[in-house]
């Protein structure tokens, strides 16, 4: 029988984080960085993050998967729909409309910055300028 067992956590210093996209290292950030953003490639993309310590790298967090629609035309607009939110980046100065499949317009304005809109699950028609595409919100 073992008695009077004590535990002392090893002293280790967090020095940063590694960010992986589709299992490939894409960025290393310092320990004070709490956000990371990028224009993800079109289609489904998965991300994992590991912590970097002076002793080495941690196991990765649970995989985070996003879905992005291809860039619209040559204007560089990126969209995604995840966790009940539609997000549109790069549409500044363009007229943006989001409609349900039955034609109900749920958003319409000239974009001034990134657009983030809570939505129910379903298929939406997103129009930026004169170009439209379908976006599936999960």
Please state the domain extents for the chain.
14-62, 70-137
| Residue-wise pLDDT tens digits, 3-14 | 777 777 667 888
Q: Where are the beta strands (DSSP E) in 9-42?
A: 14-21, 24-30
CA-closest candidate to residue 86, choices 110, 109, 57, 66: 66
Is domain 70-137 annotated with CATH 1.10.3720.10? no
For residue 70, name the pLDDT band (cuts at 50, 70, 90): very low
For residue 32, name the pLDDT band (cuts at 50, 70, 90): confident
């Amino acid at each position: 029988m073992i008695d009077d067992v004590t535990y002392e956590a090893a002293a280790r210093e967090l020095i940063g984080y590694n960010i992986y996209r589709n299992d490939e290292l894409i960025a290393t950030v310092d320990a004070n960085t709490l956000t990371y953003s990028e224009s993800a490639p079109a289609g489904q993309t998965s991300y994992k993050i590991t912590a970097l310590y002076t002793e080495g790298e941690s196991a990765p967090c649970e995989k985070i998967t996003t879905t992005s629609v291809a860039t619209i035309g040559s204007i560089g607009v990126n969209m995604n729909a995840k966790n009940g939110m539609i997000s549109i980046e790069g549409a500044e100065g363009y007229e943006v409309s989001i409609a349900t499949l039955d034609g109900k317009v749920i958003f319409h304005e000239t974009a001034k910055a990134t657009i983030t809109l809570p939505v129910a699950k379903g298929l939406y028609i997103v129009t930026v300028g004169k170009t439209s595409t379908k976006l599936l919100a999960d």
